[in-house]
Amino acid sequence: MEAKKSDGILPGFGRNVVSTVKYNGGIIIGLLIICLLLSVMTDSFCTVRNLSNIMRQISINVILACGMTMVIILGGIDLSVGSVIAVSGCLCCGLITNVGIPSIIAIPVSICAGTLVGVFNGFVISRTTIPPFIVTLAMMNIGRGFARIYTKATTILVDDPLFTFIGNSKILGGVPIQFVYMLVVIVISGLILNRTKFGRNIYAVGDNRQAASYSGINSRRVTMTVFVIMGIFASCAGILSSARTFSAQFNVGEGSEMDAISAVVLGGTSMSGGVGRLSGTIIGCIVIGVLNNGMNILGIDSSWQYVVKGVVVLIAVFIDYIKKMKD
- The pLDDT tens digits for 13-61 are 445 567 667 777 778 888 888 899 999 898 888 888 888 888 888 999 9
The pLDDT value recorded for residue 29 is 85
Q: What is the mean pLDDT of the chain?
A: 88
User: What's the CA gap between 81 and 139, in Å, rounded?
Assistant: 9
- The pLDDT tens digits for 232-280 are 999 999 999 999 999 999 999 998 998 999 899 888 898 889 989 898 8
Q: Print the domain residue range for 173.
A: 57-252
Portion of the chain with pLDDT greater than 70, in percent: 92
- The pLDDT tens digits for 77-116 are 999 999 999 999 999 999 999 999 999 999 999 999 999 9
Does residue 2 sit within a domain? no
> Cα 68 vs. chain centroid, distance in angstroms?
6
Name the pTM for this structure: 0.89
Does residue 230 sit within a domain? yes
> Cα 10 vs. chain centroid, distance in angstroms?
17
Does residue 261 sit within a domain? no
Of 312, 188, 192, the residue nearest 259 (C-alpha) = 312
Distances (CA, A) of 178 to 63, 207, 247, 313: 10, 34, 16, 26
Does residue 304 sit within a domain? no
Does residue 110 sit within a domain? yes
Domain count, the chain: 1
**Averaged pLDDT for residues 183-209:** 95
Residues 6 or more apart whose CB falls under 8 angstroms from that of 51 comprise none
CA atoms 162, 163, 167, 169: torsion sign: negative
Does residue 300 sit within a domain? no
The pLDDT value recorded for residue 9 is 46
**Averaged pLDDT for residues 120-135:** 96
Does residue 10 sit within a domain? no
Does residue 269 sit within a domain? no
